[in-house]
Amino acid sequence: MITVQNLSKAYGTKTVLSAVSAGFPPGCVTSVIGPNGAGKSTLLMLMARLSEPSSGDIFFDGKPVKGIPTSEYAKRVATLRQSSDFNMRLTVGELVAFGRFPYSRGVINDNDRRVIDESIEFLSLEPLRNAYIDEISGGQRQMAFLAMTIAQQTPVLLLDEPLNNLDMKHAVQIMHALRRLCDEQGRTVVLVIHDINFAANYSDHILALKGGQIRFNGPSGETITEALLHDLYDLDFEILSSERGCVCDYFTPRSGV
């Protein structure tokens, strides 16, 4: 579906991403993990075409994305970034309706209306529909932005740290919703995430970056191991499994950091 090949990005002389090649399995949740400055967000921004790669290519269904116009790309890949500087006074309903912009260009038809209703329903946002987004909590706000991204009805969704600043409950709601998007609607979700436990428990696939290069890339079952995580984060990990999932414990290192 979406693949990157030899993708590099440099700001001036500083290389933040060097020759990254990876595929993102369709219909799966892929978590991009790694320490700060690893190039995770840069990779996502390049895939979203919000910044230009220094070299390398991105392919969508085998075709280079360079040739796809912005207005068409918005029907294939939806991106949700952190929206802390968003200062528009819109209601949740209006915001979600803007997810239809790539199709409607402002004239909402019956199908658009149905999709908007479904997206709001999907995240149980109905009670907040007429609330202004600058008057609701950070978690509800993030849900509203996610609903807008869902309403874009793209096969691929890219999310940059969607759990930032959220409480545990909202974080679980968001991750659960992403899981359902894959399982129920067959969408491909790629997200940059810092919380290793959410990544381990909710994603099918893990892509680990460090210093602008891929450290490891594979199904979560094979990649969430004490050795690989230690190598990635330079922290002492202990992975505890139970029937509900696993916990990666790194909070109290056995032997100094």
Partner 1 sequence: MNTPSQSEKQPIKAADGSQISGATRMRMACLFVALCVGSLLVGARQMEWSQVVLLSGDTWLTLTASRLPRMAALILTGVGLAVCGVILQHIVRNRFVEPGTSGGLDAAKLGVLVSLTLMPAMGKFSQMLFALGFCFVTSLLYVAVIRRIQFRNTALVPVIGLMYGSVLSAVAEFYAYQQNILQSMQGWLMGDFSRVVQGQYEVIYLILPIAVLAYLYAHRFTVLGMGEDMATSLGLGYAATATLGLLLVAITVSVTVITVGAIYFVGLVVPNLVVLHYGDNLKHTLPLVAVGGAALLLACDIVGRLLIFPFEVPIGLTAGFIGGAIFLVLILRGEKQ
Q: Which two tokens stand for residue 55?
A: 């070299």
Among 8, 31, 173, 201, the residue binding partner 1 under the rule CB under 8 A is 173
Site for partner 1 in 183-242 (CB under 8 A): none
Among 14, 52, 169, 184, the residue binding partner 1 under the rule CB under 8 A is 169
Number of residues that bind partner 1 (CB under 8 A): 46
Q: Which two tokens stand for residue 163?
A: 């759990």
By CB under 8 A, tell whether 66 contacts partner 1.
no
By CB under 8 A, tell whether 130 contacts partner 1.
yes
Collapse the DSSP code of 65 into the 3-class scheme (helix H, G, I; strand E, B; otherwise coil) and give the result. Answer: helix
Pure H helices in 74-195: 92-98, 101-104, 110-122, 138-151, 168-185
Q: Which two tokens stand for residue 129?
A: 């529909």
Q: How far is the CB of 257 from partner 1 (least distance, A)?
A: 32
In whole angstroms, what is the distance from residue 137 CA to residue 132 CA?
11
CB 204 within 8 A of CB 29: yes
Among 124, 138, 185, 245, the residue binding partner 1 under the rule CB under 8 A is 124
Residues in the chain: 257
Write out the residues near partner 1 by the rule CB under 8 A: 48-50, 70-75, 78-81, 83, 85-91, 93-94, 98-99, 101-102, 105-106, 124, 127-128, 130-132, 135-137, 140, 152, 169, 172-173, 176-177, 180
